[in-house]
Every structure is written in C-alpha cells, then in structure tokens.
Structure 1
Amino acid sequence: MKIVADENMPHVRELFGELGEVTLLPGRDMTAAQLAQADVLLVRSVTRVNADLLAQASRLQFVGTATIGTDHVDQPLLAARGIAFASAPGCNRISVGDYVLSALLVLAERHGLTLAGMTLAIVGAGNTGRAVASHASALGMQVCYCDPPRARAEGAGSFISLEEALQADVVSFHVPLTREGTDATWHLLNAARIAALRANQFLINASRGEVWDNQALLERQRGAAPLSLVMDVWEHEPDILTELVPHTEIATPHIAGYSLEGKARGTWMLYEALCTRLGRSPRQELASLLPAPDVLALTLGQPPSQALIGRLVHLVYDVRRDDARFRRELGLPGSFDRQRKCYLERRELSSLRLEGAMSLAALHAFGFSPASY
C-alpha cells in the first residue's frame, strides 16, 4: 500500500508505516502526478482535495484529513469515485480551548478585567465550542450558545440568536466554513454586523478566516471605535490582509489547534479509521507517541485566583509567544506557512499535574491533571 501524507502531520511514519510505504510531501504543494500511485492520501487543511488534485489518482482508496473542518475536501467527488473518507472531529478541541483560555486571561490582564460574571457567547456549539465553554464556565463566565442547526434539532430553549450573541462581552466563533444554504457561515460576521458592534467588544475567531469579513473589520478598526480582536484564522491564507494585524489584540497563524496532543490525536484518528476499513485492530496507542512534558507536576500553596490560574495556564501555554513571533515575521516571504510547519512544541494543560492540600477541583475543570493521574 502506498500512502501519501502531508509532511506536517506528526507520527505518520510511526503509525502508518506498518500498513505500507509512506511518502511525505508539502501539503500546500501536492500535485496530481505525485498521487498517481497512491492508495491512501492523508492531508491537513492546506490541501485542496478536488478533481484537479485527484486527476491521476486511479488507485486511491482512502482519503483522510487530520482536521475538524472538511471544507477543503470535495466529499461528493470522493463518494462518486467510491473513495472512503475520514476526518478527525474533536481532535484539537482541547488545544483550541486552551488557546482561547490563554487569550481570555491575557485580555483580562491587559484590560484589568474580572472574567467571572462576564458574558461569553459561543457561536458554534460543537466539540470545539463546548471545550471553550467548559474553560469559560470554570472561570465563572456566563456562557450562552448560538447554533441555529442545533437549535432546530434540539429545541431553541438552550440557544440564542446571532444578534443576541453579538451583544455579549466576548464572542467566540467555532463554526465550520459553509458557503451555501440557510446556515452558510461565509462572512457570518459581515460589514453590517461589524458596524453594529460596541466599541472595545472582544471577538475571537479560531474557526475559519472567511467567517469574518476581514476588509470590513479593517475599516472598522481604522475608525474611532475599534473592537478588541483575537484572530487565529484569516481570509485568503496564507496571503492574509497584513494591514489588519496591527489592529488586533492577539494575532496568530492558524495554530490554535496545534498542541502536540491535538496533532497526534488527529493522525491517530485517521490511523484508527484506516485500520477499521482494512478489518484490523490498531496496534499502537496514542499515549506512546508523546514525550514527557518539561514540567510534570506542581504543588500549590494557595487557593486558585484568576491571577494564579493565569500563571498556571501560561506555564504550559502562553498565546503571547505565538503572537510575538507572528508579528515579528509578518511580511517575510512564506512566513505564514513556515511558522505552522516549524511550530514550537506545545502541550495541553493535561500535561501538568497539580497537587496541594486544598481542593483543586476548580483547577481540574480547566484540564490540569489531578495528583492521582
């Protein structure tokens, strides 16, 4: 079996090597000729899996994307050709939750905010949105959800409208990118909605860049009443609107889900899916792929406050590191993709075990491991 994979997908050789010959290629530059003999194609979000890419892939049996989003894959084409497809829903939900948590704590420190009692609207109540909500609730924030498809399926009582969501103190977007239909998310945050937002309102996008109208945001930010923006995703990646970056609070190159655990989990989920298709049991475990973290455990001497929570979170992951690097390299040729490809090792909060005499249940709610872990 010949397996072609994005070179930025971790642990591909360790997991898939037992199933066949693995070839690693740059995800954004894959060509049809390179897939002519491929039986399996493994990608991330930068590879457009369409008719052009698969024009010579007559042997292809399986396509997997190690991502939550699937808008880069022409699934009807795969179905028409009888090619099996798998994605990795929820693989990086914990990582994105950690990213948003770090961002919230940075914003609180910069602006002197007490997060407890503030309102957070989650637009998109899927795996990732729920992970963000869990962290926010642990901070004492009042969380509400906007998700029209789920509201219709589950009853509107647990959800609010987008217009209501956009009144919250903080609005965090976690939707897939769709361009057609009643619930299309392309430019969900459009020029009219951007203009109606309150000055200094906090908005976070860790979903897809095209969900926000970036040009309209730039025009708003250049005015007298700018918003406070946290942007991990951008329209037209990697050729983003660089003029918008100086008008953001936090800016990063689509790495919210790039924890070591999240990326490994995405690859492992595809490995499991292919093993199932081949009628065999997985012979490897996800935990065996991960190295020991830099700091294994801490003993706390004080009950958790917002400041202490911030120090603990940022010991494991501080979004300001990624923001600083992004701004420093902004404008350099190929910088956006290079920062993703050469991303520094980052762990999830569960890599740190917390101990102490007082009850640590509140901190375990953020994902930190208990002493008995």
Structure 2
Amino acid sequence: MAPRVLISDSLSPAAVAIFKERGVEVDVKSNLDKDQLAAIIGDYDGLAIRSNTKVTAKLLESATRLKVVGRAGIGVDNVDIPAATAKGVIVMNTPFGNSITTAEHAIALMFALARELPAADASTQAGKWEKNRFMGVEITGKVLGIIGCGNIGSIVADRAIGLKMRVIAYDPFLSPERALDLGVEKVELDDLLARADIITLHVPMTPQTKNVLSAENLAKTKKGVRIINCARGGLVDEDALRKLLDEGHVAGAAIDVFAVEPAKENVLFGHPRVICTPHLGAATNEAQENVALQVAEQMSDYLIRGAISNAINFPSITAEEAPKLKPMIALAEKLGSFAGQLTEGPVKQVKIIYEGGAADLKTKALTAAALAGLMRPNLSSINVVSAPAIAKERGIVVDEITRAAESDYESLITLTVVTDSQERSISGTVFTDGKPRIVSIKNIKVDAEFAPSMIYVTNEDKPGFIGRFATTLGNAGVNIATFALGRDQQGGSAIALVEVDGEVPMAALEKIQVLPGVKAGKVLRF
C-alpha cells in the first residue's frame, strides 16, 4: 500500500509531481480549518505544511497513521514538537531552501536602512525634492554584528565581507575554526552589542533566544545603532525598541518579522526611521520552489526508503545508510526488548557499547531503538522517535561508548541495564543473513536468533536439566523449535534460550520455574 501525504498549505505544483514520481499518493487540500483537518488527518502517513497549518497536540491525537510532518521552510513554531515526538512523528524542515533569499533580504534592508530608501522614494513620488533631508551612511567600514551565524548568518557574513564591512558574530555553536573560515570575529553578546554599528538577527526562536534583544540588551548598544530582524518575531522587545528609536539612541530599524503575525498593527508602525516588510525573508520564486521541492524529496525518501533528512527530533539517516542501519536498528530494539522484559524495578542507567562496524553507524538512532525496546513492556505506545525524550523525562542516564572491534564479530552491540538491585548485559550482532542474533547474556556465550515466542531460563549447570525441561514442555504440548545453551564454567551458571512454537501455558512455565537447579524462568515475546 503506497504511503499517502496531505499538502495542507500552498506549495509549488512541482512538489506534487515529486511525490507522485517517488510512489507517494498525494492530496492537496489547503485552507482547511482545524476541525476539517482533524477529520481527515487519520488517513495520511505524511503532512506537508508551510506556516499556516498548526500541528497541535490535539490534531496529533487524530493522526493515527501519521509518520512525518514536513515544513517547507525553516521555522517550526507552528508544530508542537514535544507532542509530535511523543506521538512518534518525525518533524522535518528545509533549512537550506530559502537561506540565500533570507540573507539577501537582510542585506537589502541594511542598504534601505542606511540610505533611507523607502522614505526618500515616498517623498520624491509625492513631488518633493528633499535632497538634503535624506543624509544616509556608508556601509563600507562599518561593524556588522551578526547574532546567529548558522546557514543564513554565514551567508550574510560572506556578503558583508564582500561589501568591505567588518563582521563580528555571536553564536555559542560557532567554533573558532569555522569563524576563521568565514572571516568573522567570534565575540560574546555584550561585546557585539557595544561594538556593532548594525545588528542583524539570524537565530531560531527558542527559550534561549527569545527576547535576545531585550530592553536591557538594547540599552547596551552603541548610540546610532541600526537593527535588522529577518529571523523571528519575539527576538526583539518591540516596545523597548520603539522607546530607543524615539529617544534617538537607535538610528533605525528594519523589521520583517513581528511578535504577532499577521501584523495589522504594531508599536513600531509609523515611526519615520522604521522600515517594515510583511515576512518577506523567503518570498522569492526561487526560494518557494526550492523549499517545496526539498520537503517533497525529504518526505518521500523517508516514507519510501527510511532516509531521514533535516529532522528536528531524530538523527538524520541518509538513503545510503538506511539499508545498513535497518538490521542494526532491529537488533538494538530486540536487545532492548530482551532486557526490558527481564528487568524488574525502575531503570537507573543504560550503557550501550558499539564495537567495530556498529561504531561507524548513526549510534543515536540505534540507541533510540534500544531505548524503545527497553521501555515498551511498560509503555506500549513508545517508539524510536519518542524513546529518548521519555528516557530523559524518567531520569534514565544513557551512556554510549564506541570502540574498535574487540571480539570475534565484525559488529557488536552490548546493552547493559542498571537498576537498584541488578545489572544485566546482553550482546548481539547481525550476520550476513541480515538476522539479529544474541551472542552473549551476562558474559555467557550463547548463539540464538530472536523468535516470536521464547523461554529464557537460568539454571545450575548440572546433569538432567535438559531432559526434565524438555519433558515438561512435551507434557504441556509445547514444541521446541531451537535450543541454545551457554555456561560460564563446568558446573557453574548456565543459560537456556529456547524458541518454541506457539504460546507457553502459564502452568507449564510454573513447572519449569520449580525444576531442580532452575534459578529463574520467563517467557519472552519478540
């Protein structure tokens, strides 16, 4: 059955063509209200949106099939990311499709601000010739302060350097090496505020960046500064900015985004030294086409091939990596499930060691799968997307270790679960047949495939156990399919991992648990 995608906002027709070419069924139904959307969302595996559609927790309750939300654009303010993650829905954006367009808009606003172009145009077209009124400033030699030097900020920096500006940047994630490559000076925020002639914002809206240009920070800027915001409304305290404009401390502001949009009224409107545009950062034909094509390609690749690109809430997986990862993800999830079915009491810590080839894969995705398997016995709705967040909420410490192969296996994953009362380890690998296998339990070597119905027994290594065990199952009408054994030493502790056909009656399991030498017995299901 082909996956189905709903496009609920205006996207280029080219996006529809890409979905169809990739084997995805697509419907275009824009301008739906929230109730209309909720009524049909349960029929779709994917939802492609721009900024109009609001993907709320309530909408996600109706999205029983939904696997992915694709936002054609950068900002995902209109998507409830925690709710989507809890639901197991991948949320993707398209961070590169409109980067150049947004950067160019910031540069255009900088020129318009420096030379007062909108006011000069209005004056001239009104029949005035106020040549002496519009005395601008040169861009050359000015200090441009960039807050946020990611995809868009770095393009702005490149263009500004070409205009012979001096560029300083505040970005906690900007490495010194990257700053050197860009030709910018990395500074702290207070330093940028004190030195910049022009400040331009290029950060997403997060709890850390909200109101980054607060009244307090705006007061730290140098007199005559000019402010540009093409990023997100809410990054600038609009009331404080208006006050400093009125006082002449801020020489001008060019604002493309507002705290409330659509902005039909705003405290900044009407000020003679303010330029406002209606969220035009990504408004070029090229950008609209690019983000539409990109979101269609990303969503199709995920729904058809399992590749994940530009996901907000899950590690990226390329189309080339997906086939290699698939059996290893299955292994990680089953190792987690094995441990989860046997673990009693709250889990305090999970340690996962990736050896050999496994260490070269996307271990974040493998860890997410292991956590999902581990917690599923208690949380049936959990999945690989929601698992890391739920583990964090529950205070589970997760440690990942990668290292070169130290065993006989090309790839090996070892999962250790720690509770207040015990520590349990299990190791597994994937052979050339692509099937996950258990190769060690509690450091006891064993070789067993995972099967739908299994019995796990720990016992003393003494003669007669296998006969008594098999007889008990035979008397209960349970057929043994495979029988894997392991022990730490002769006469020591032993493990039996037995695949059986069908269900194991509780009465039979209880008889196994009281057999001589048996320490514990449990039915496992995969």
Q: TM class by shorter-chain length?
A: 0.5 to 0.7
Distance 1:4 1:88 in 2: 17
Amino acid across the alignment from 1:125: C
Q: Which residue of 1 aligns with 2:190?
A: 163
How many corresponding residue pairs? 278
| Gaps in structure 1 of 5+ consecutive residues | 283-373
Q: Give distance in 2, aligned partners of 1:91 and 1:31.
A: 26
Q: CA deviation at 1:56?
A: 1.0
The residue type paired with residue 56 of structure 2 is N
For residue 224 of structure 1, report the CA deviation from its aligned partner. 4.6
Counterpart selection for 1:20 from 10, 22, 25: 25
- What does 1:37-186 correspond to in 2, within 5 Å? 37-110=43-116, 111-151=135-175, 158-166=185-193, 167-179=195-207, 184-186=208-210
Q: Is the 8 A contact 1:45 1:72 kept in 2?
A: yes
Query: Cα gap change, 1:28/1:46 in structure 2, threshold over 3 Å: closer, same or farther?
Result: farther
8 Å contact 2:226–2:250 — kept in the other structure? Answer: no
CA contact (8 A) 1:201 1:227 kept: yes
Q: Distance in 2 between matches of 1:243 and 1:279?
A: 48
Describe the SS at the equivalent of 1:121.
Answer: strand
3-state DSSP class of the match of 2:6? strand
- For residues 156-192 of structure 1, the C-alpha deviation after alignment (integer angstroms, 9 at most, x for no partner) is 995101111122111100001001xxxx001111011
1:343-367 CA-partner distances (Å, limit 9, x unpaired)? xxxxxxxxxxxxxxxxxxxxxxxxx
Q: Which residue of 2 aligns with 1:307?
A: none
Q: CA deviation at 1:255?
A: 1.3
From the superposition, tell whether residues 158 and 226 of structure 1 become closer, same or farther in structure 2 (CA, over 3 Å).
Answer: closer
Given that 2:145 and 2:199 are in contact with CA atoms closer than 8 Å, whether structure 1 keeps it comes out as: yes
Which of 224, 229, 234 is the equivalent residue of 2:258?
Answer: 234
| Structure 1 residue 219, shift from structure 2 partner | 2.7
Deviation at 1:221, TM superposition (A): 2.7
1:327 match: none
| Among candidates 229, 240, 252, match of residue 205 of structure 1 | 229
Matching of residue 264 in structure 1 with residue 289 in structure 2? yes
Q: CA shift at 1:90, angstroms?
A: 1.7
Residue type of the alignment partner of 1:140: K
**Which of 38, 44, 65 matches 1:32?**
38
What is the alpha-carbon distance in structure 2 between the residues aligned to residue 241 and residue 226 of structure 1? 21
* 1:117 positional shift: 1.0
Secondary structure, in 3 states, of the residue corresponding to 1:144? Answer: strand
Q: Per-residue displacement from partner, 1:82-137 (whole Å, max 9, x unpaired)?
A: 22332101211100121122222223333432212111111101000011111111
Larger Rg: 2
Whole-Å separation in 1 of the counterparts to 2:280 and 2:4: 29
Map 1:307-318 onto structure 2 (within 5 A).
none
State the 1:142 CA deviation: 0.9
Q: SS of the residue aligned with 2:167?
A: strand
CA deviation string 1:23-49 (max 9, x = no partner)? 231388674224232221111234332
User: What residue identity is the alignment partner of 1:21?
Assistant: V
Letter of the aligned partner of 1:218 in structure 2?
A: R
Asked whether the 8 Å contact 2:81–2:91 carries over to 1, the reply is yes
2:504 is matched with none
Q: Could you list the per-position Cα deviations for residues 244-298 of structure 1 after superposition, in whole angstroms to 9, with x for gaps in the alignment?
A: 122253211111111111121111111221232234699xxxxxxxxxxxxxxxx
Which has the higher mean CA deviation after the structures are superposed, 264-273 or 191-200?
191-200
One-letter amino acid matched to 2:48: L
- Structure 2 contact 142–197 (Cα < 8 Å) conserved: yes
The worse-fitting range, judged by mean Cα deviation, of 166-175 and 102-111 is 102-111
Answer with 121-130 or 240-249: which moved more: 240-249
Q: What's the offset of the Cα at 1:58?
A: 0.8
Equivalent position SS for 2:44 = coil
Cα distance in structure 1, aligned partners of 2:261 and 2:108: 23
Whole-Å separation in 2 of the counterparts to 1:15 and 1:136: 36
C-alpha distance in 2 between matches for 1:91 and 1:65: 11
Equivalent residue of 1:52, what SS? helix
7-16 vs 230-239, which moves further: 7-16
Q: 1:158 to 1:196 in 2, by over 3 A?
A: closer
Q: Deviations over 1:283-330 (max 9, x none)?
A: xxxxxxxxxxxxxxxxxxxxxxxxxxxxxxxxxxxxxxxxxxxxxxxx
SS in 2 for 1:140: coil
How far apart are the structure 2 equivalents of 1:27 and 1:208? 25
Corresponding residue for residue 290 of structure 1: none
Counterpart residue type for residue 164 of structure 1: D
1:161 maps to a residue whose letter is E
Question: In 2, Cα distance between the equivalents of 1:209 and 1:107?
Answer: 19
Q: CA separation of 1:82/1:226 partners in 2, compared to 1, >3 Å: closer, same or farther?
A: closer
Matched, 1:193 2:217: yes
- Structure 1 equivalent of residue 11 of structure 2: 9
Cα contact 2:7–2:26 (8 A) shared by 1: no
Matched letter for residue 7 of structure 1: D
Distance change >3 Å, CA 76–CA 224, structure 1 → 2: closer
CA distance in 2, matches of 1:217, 1:107: 15
Flag the 1:203–1:37 CA change in 2: closer, same or farther, 3 A: same
8 Å CA contact 1:4–1:25 kept in 2: the answer is no
RMSD after superposition: 2.8
1:246 alignment partner, one of 239, 252, 270: 270
Secondary structure (helix, strand or coil) at the match of 1:125 reads: coil
Listed as ranges, the matches of 1:340-355 within 5 Å are none
